Amino acid sequence: MKEPKIVAFLCNWCSYAGADLAGVSRLQYPPNVRIVRVPCSGRVDPLFILTALKHADGVLTAGCHPGDCHYTSGNLVARRKFALLKSLLDFVGVEKERVQFDWISAAEGNRFAARIKDVTEDVKGLEPWERWGGRQNG
């Protein structure tokens, strides 16, 4: 398959800092990812993810570990939305590897690099994504 395109929504305070650490630590991870920095995982509207899937083959959303949110509970509120979105997508036959979530702290550069690798490889192993039946390319 063509190289898959992955979109990652990363919260500013933990996961984006984790990605940054992966960068400054010169950890290797696939170049397939396009990062979108958001203020908090609580900012990630399901529409972001559904819309990203119009243009990309996989989506990773990551935020601070529960208990570590800069805004105390943004990620806890997000957690319920994510749980429902994920089960709904699964229900309508979207492969579970295509939309993934994780908590990645600012100290977890390794975890960030590993997760990007997993998502990219998982998505490569799937049938090509028809992007909601749309015709977008690239």
Task: Locate 12 and state its tokens.
Answer: 């500013």
Cα angle value 44/64/132 (rounded, 5°): 30
CA distance 90 to 99: 9
Cα angle value 125/128/132 (rounded, 5°): 130
Minimum Å gap between C-beta 2 and other proteins is 19
Minimum Å gap between C-beta 120 and other proteins is 13
Minimum Å gap between C-beta 135 and other proteins is 8
Residue 93 or 138 having the CB closest to other proteins: 93
The site for other proteins (CB under 8 A) is made up of: 46-47, 50-51, 54, 60, 66-67, 73, 76-77, 79-95, 100-103, 108, 111, 114-115, 118-119, 131-134
